[in-house]
Chain A
Amino acid sequence: MLIRDKNIALFTAGVLGIFPLFLRETVSSLSPHTMAIPILLACLYYYLSVRRDEKKLPFLLGLIVLFPFIHPGALFFITGLFFYGLLVLTQGYSLKKIEWEIFLFSVLYEFWIIFLLFKKAFLFHGFSIIWQNIPAAILNNYFEPLSLLTSVGAIGVLPLLFGISLVFKYLSQRGEQEWFLFIGFAFSFFFLISFKLVEPKIGLLYLGVFLFLLCGKFFHLSFFYLEKTKISSYTSVLVPSFIVFFVLSLFLFSPSPQNNAPSLALLHGLQWIHQHASPDTTVLGTIEQGHLIVAEGMRKNVWDTSFLFVPSANQRVNDVIQIFQTSSEVTALALLHKYKVGYILFSRSAQLQFDVPSLPYVRNEKCFSKVYENEEVSVYKVLCMVREL
């Protein structure tokens, strides 16, 4: 709609779907963002349509109404619109009346639904709900500062350069107002990442999407310019070479997409738990294995990456770290009893994460029995409990 060149639009959409972080977080992983991103983009599409013709308004309202029920990322729509409004007004443009109305409605509606859905969490945490009750020990890893190389690797070198150059072009010279919408959204994610209001990985994912969209405009302007030069006669050679070069550049510095996938050995260990452990037992693993224990092992876990409704989350994290690192059998048993742990899933990632080659106290076979072992995972059954006399 905005690029006015089908080939460039198609190419932009194609490369947007394969940039490293997008591949890792949506294509090769089951994530709510797989749905949230298209809905956010659809909202923007209809927002731009409504600016031109109000007949599309019911579609936009329908999406706004639906969005918070799918993902709390609906709030990204409001922050994005806010930054867009700010940019437009500071650049000397004006917002249409309908835009103000949509913004007011979106703010009120999205906040109301988020309040309804997370009422208990809001009452319990207040404004600190932004940090989702994540314990301090985890928070430092969760919001770890991003290096330039990580950011470049996650999005791609050229899209980052092209996107940023277009932002500078639009901020320094006047351009079509519609593009400020994408620039505003890119700014909003940059703001959210900078102030640690969103997990950097997720922030970068969304930022990447908007930088790619801005890339589309950059391509359009560049090709428009090139057509006026003598190089235009070499287009048939230049364009395919550029496409190959651009796609290859995406994977420069990028991490392997399969990095976070659970290994087969771990899955076998979890399948053993699923088949042999009693259904009401609790299994202790690393924080990343928490959801796997529930999904694959079909057993309760002690911790996972969701802390929103966990009471004394800091205490729980410290206790789990102590279970993995202590050499005292009594301490370990007391803590295992506290969380009613029936099985310990000791994997290679636990070895690396807690810097322990093995659990020292499991040597006492009266209290711990190794019930399963493969090249990566050991499962210990807890047989004793500490009782006060």
Chain B
Amino acid sequence: MNRENYYMIGGILFFCLVLLFFRSPLPPGGVPYYHLQMVEHLTTPFHIILSGLLGIFSVFTVAFYFPLVLFLGSAVLFLQLLKEGRLRMFTCILLLLSPLSLFTSMTLHETSFSIFLLLLGLVLRHSWVRFVFFLLALWQHIFNAVFIFPILSWPMRILFGGFIFFVHSFRFEPLPDVGLIFTDMGAPVGIGIFTAVLLVLGLLELWTKKYQHVYHYLCFVFGLVCWFFLGNSVAFYLNFYFAYLSALGFLAVFDHRWESKIVKKLTLLVLACGLLFSFLSYTNRMSQELPSLSFAEGAEWLRDNTPPGSIILTSPSRGFWLEYFGQRPAFATPLHPREGEVNSIFYAVTIDHAVELLKTNNIKYIWIDHDMKKQIWSKEEGLLFFFKNKERFKRIYSEKGVEIWKVM
């Protein structure tokens, strides 16, 4: 085994250690809980596999380790596609230091599975088995056709294109702000500023051979456009491509004939520290992501003390957690945010109007937590103010910043 492979193995071990050390007590974000609920429906290959795994391992073992295995598997397959050498080593290291990789390996997400299937198909590109993986990837999500497209004949491409744009309805989730692609600027999912710098350097390096790499420029622009218009799921695919481009950038800096060796060493040191800083800073943030244990306890209390089928009102971002831990239907979830209706209740001007809306929607309980109080209401107003009316609302649970109110 050559020295580069040792570095790559070291990188993977470091990544796993960081992940285990900074692991949050519960799987972060809302998406894993959505998928854990969807397991019953067996609608996609991902949910079928998940269901199988849940039959063997505990829920949290699957929620913690399955994404990690999927990511590491995808990383190894991706590296298999690259030629041996320094570029592959730097791609591996930059891939492992990417905040997107961290998110992918900490969160149970169907896109990770899609990527794994696609990469498996690409690695086995000389075998007929690849079609099985491509079909599974297509079944998982029609967006994956974008990657299968280049290997099809022209009539098949036209057929597929028509299918994608006329039959399947994409969910457009444009990013609200361009700044929301940088995790250093507070983006929940994205790339680090230093990765972006290396990406630019990588593209500049490709530009030295001008139009020889025209596909790269097109892929880059297409990827960014997709990310902005289709949402953060696209970023998981781009993560691998970005790692390759930034490795090109890093190598360009490394191999450049510098006038001053000390400036070269310092620049490389700052680059390495910057990448590490972005990665560790994001790791720290992810480890503090909700839900906390107090959320799970509150939701379990709800499950044990309320009649089944009672609709719970809370912020849409809490919907999946309530449904998973509390086993009660949430009025709004990230999938169906019902923002208009939720806001009209949260910011109701009169108590009568608020109660009327709650009754109309058959809402029996309201979940309020510390963060919601800070994020939704700037002062004691709307529903938060109406809670003072003891005839209409009764607090039935209050522990560790979580409050559950019953609509009387």
Contacts and interface: CB of A to CB of B under 8 A. Distances in A.
Interface stretch (B15-23, B210-218, B255-263, B363-371): B255-263
Interface in B182-217: 182, 184-187, 193-194, 197
Interface stretch (A100-108, A159-167, A365-373): A100-108
B184 A122 contact: yes
B266 A109 contact: yes
Contacts of A96: 259
B285 A105 contact: no
A57 B378 contact: no
B270 A123 contact: no
Binding site of B, secondary structure by majority: helix, strand, loop or mixed?
helix
Nearest to B388: A388
A105 B259 contact: no
Contact of B270 (A97, A109, A127): A109
B378 A315 contact: yes
A57 B263 contact: yes
A108 B197 contact: yes
Q: Which of B270, B271, B378, B379 has the most CB of A within 10 A?
A: B270
Interface string A111-133: 11001100100111111000000
Contact of B186 (A54, A98, A123, A312): A123
B187 to A, nearest CB: 8
Contacts of A145: none
Q: Please tell me the size bucket of the interface on B.
A: 20 to 34
Contacts of A104: 253, 267
A126 B258 contact: no
B267 A101 contact: yes
Interface in B26-81: none
Nearest to B183: A123
Contacts of B273: 112
A101 B264 contact: yes
Contacts of A58: 262
Contacts of B259: 54, 96-98, 101
A78 to B, nearest CB: 13
Q: Please tell me the size bucket of the interface on A.
A: 20 to 34
A102 B263 contact: yes
A61 B193 contact: no
A61 B262 CA distance: 9
B274 interface: yes
Contacts of B143: none
B270 A101 contact: no
A123 B185 contact: yes
Given A104-B267, A123-B285, A112 B179 contact: no
Contacts of B344: none
Nearest to A98: B259
A132 to B, nearest CB: 15
A32 to B, nearest CB: 24
A140 to B, nearest CB: 21
A101 B257 CA distance: 10
Given A57-B260, A98-B260, A119-B281, A105 B267 contact: yes
B260 A111 contact: no
B391 interface: no
Q: Which of A101, A107, A119, A122 has the most CB of B within 10 A?
A: A101
A112 B262 contact: no
B230 interface: no
A312 B184 CA distance: 22
Interface string A21-63: 0000000000000000000000000000000001001100100
Interface of A: 54, 57-58, 61, 96-98, 101-102, 104-105, 107-109, 111-112, 115-116, 119, 122-127, 312, 315
Given A101-B267, A112-B194, A124-B186, 8 more contacts: A101-B260, A105-B266, A109-B266, A109-B270, A122-B185, A123-B185, A126-B186, A127-B177
7 contacts: A57-B263, A101-B263, A111-B193, A115-B184, A122-B184, A122-B185, A123-B185
